[in-house]
Amino acid sequence: MDLQALVHDVTAVVATGVPAAVRHHAGLVLADTVGAMIAGGRSPELAALAATCDPRPQAEVAVPGHPRVGAAAAAAVNAMAGVWLEIDEDSKPGGHVAAQVLPAVLAVAQRDGLSGEQLLRGLVTGYEVAAALYAMYDLRYPVHPHGLFGAVGAAVGAAVARGDDPGPPARIASNLLPVGVWDPCTEGATVRHVLAADAAAMGVRAAELAAAGIGPSATVLDSLTAALGCRVRQANPAHAGHGWRHAQITRNTFKIHSACLHAHAAIEAALAVRRPALDPAEIRSVTVAVMSGAAERIGALPRPNSLSTRFSIPYAVATALLRGEASVTAMGYDAHAFALAEKVRLVVDDSHARAGEPIGGATVTVETVTGTRRARVDRPRGVCDNPVSEEDLRVKFAAVVGGAGAEEYFASLVEVFDAPVVGQVLVSDQAVAT
């Protein structure tokens, strides 16, 4: 698949108008991503980073009480906030697409006074391009999807929102892909979030580089993916350029748990085992069976920090058994959860893998002093073939954002594409109106 053809085909279809159902789903994607950004934006690291940003008042940042900053800086900070807690949505082939594309498109829309309709077209076009690229390539472990093709999607989305030709920015971004591996995730090194930041910032900068006459290579994308060992798994993947029924944005995954998606089936199996009431003191051992890809990536015990815990199946299962949830607050590091995680034995069972699906199922078996409990989950909640409802997303948003009026705020975000001019979008929980 040629990058220019992909960009052209998607842009042409989006230019004819986004159908009402896709428009509404894109609104849910935006609202869910904004919720993740606001929750992540409360971290002290991002407050410190925002204080160093370009002070031009162009676009909002998801840091409570902080003024607007330069567009590229806002895109970077907001992308980091969006992925900080592992609660943001994901495209079906992976990549944390909205958390990388939306910050760039939103920053440009606020800087340039664009309409909600322009924001919509930029978001959908950028999402489709990035998700199609993630679907095209099989990322060879330990390559991690943060950054990478999100940069191309962000560049395309920002250009389309402005009404510019997205081809030159797409070529520029394809030459400057942020590349990372899984190690920072499992270690809990927050530098991992900078990959998403670099992708989103590139969405803003690519048009500036192209306008300045900076020339891209036509072969870097092929050379880089080959060097990373990323084989082509779908030469012509689905995307909206083939017609709206093939759109990637409507086949996305909405996360319900604050953890790497590879842990979600195991979390839900653990929650099923926990019912009826399970006394953690009676647990003798826990066995978790998952597909090999999940075990390879996040099968180890975590380091003692709240990022590493989100990339540990043993810890996620222990938390679910102890607390009955894997929420933003529950998935922080806790010594009691770690002690139970040490009792978890992980085994590989590729009957939990499904052809063509990056995310598999899990079986959790708990031995207690009174007997054995077991539960199997083949498809976790939130994936496109086991979707959550809009009400589920509203409840999730209220939980992660907090504050009075959170549900009304969610509804306003879903309808933001109707705005004649994109105004304030990122509202801290302290400021949500009742």
The domain spans of the chain are 3-255+401-431, 261-377
**Residues found in the chain:** 434
Residue 30 CA to residue 24 CA, distance in Å, equals 10
Evaluate the omega torsion of the peptide bond into residue 178 and state whether it is cis, within 30 degrees of 0. Answer: no
pLDDT of the residue at 432: 42
**At 10, phi and psi to the nearest 5?**
-65, -45
- CA nearest neighbour of 328 among 96, 97, 86, 64: 86
Helix axis angle, 149-162 relative to 3-15, nearest 10°?
A: 40
Residue 93 CA to residue 145 CA, distance in Å, equals 10
CATH superfamily of 261-377: 2-methylcitrate dehydratase PrpD (3.30.1330.120)
pLDDT of the residue at 430: 43
Query: What's CA 24's distance to the chain center, in Å?
Result: 19
Residue 339: which residues within 8 A CB-CB, separation 6 or more? none
Q: Say if residue 434 is exposed, middle or buried (CB neighbours under 10 Å; 0-12, 13-18, 19+).
A: exposed
Q: Is the pTM of this model over 0.95?
A: yes
pLDDT of the residue at 248: 98
Pair of tokens at residue 378: 């083949």
**Which residue type is seen at 416?**
V
Q: Please give the chain's pLDDT, 434 residues, in tens.
A: 799 999 999 999 999 999 999 999 999 999 999 999 999 999 999 999 999 999 999 999 999 999 999 999 999 999 999 999 999 999 999 999 999 999 999 999 999 999 999 999 999 999 999 999 999 999 999 999 999 999 999 999 999 999 999 999 999 999 999 999 999 999 999 999 999 999 999 999 999 999 999 999 999 999 999 999 999 999 999 999 999 999 999 999 999 999 999 999 999 999 999 998 899 999 999 999 999 999 999 999 999 999 999 999 999 999 999 999 999 999 999 999 999 999 999 999 999 999 888 999 999 999 999 999 999 999 999 999 999 999 999 999 999 999 889 999 999 999 999 999 999 999 975 444 33
pLDDT of the residue at 355: 87
Q: What stretches of 206-357 adopt beta strand conformation (E)?
A: 231-232, 283-290, 344-348
Pair of tokens at residue 417: 């594409």
pLDDT of the residue at 277: 85
**Which residue type is seen at 162?**
R
How many CB atoms neighbour CB 113 within 10 A?
11
- C-alpha dihedral (124, 130, 131, 136), degrees to nearest 10: 140
CATH 1.10.10.10 fits 3-255+401-431, yes or no: no
* Helix (H/G/I), strand (E/B), else coil: 379: coil
Q: What one-character DSSP code corresponds to residue 288?
A: E
Residue 40 CA to residue 34 CA, distance in Å, equals 10
Contact status, residue 410 vs residue 397, Cβ threshold 8 Å = yes
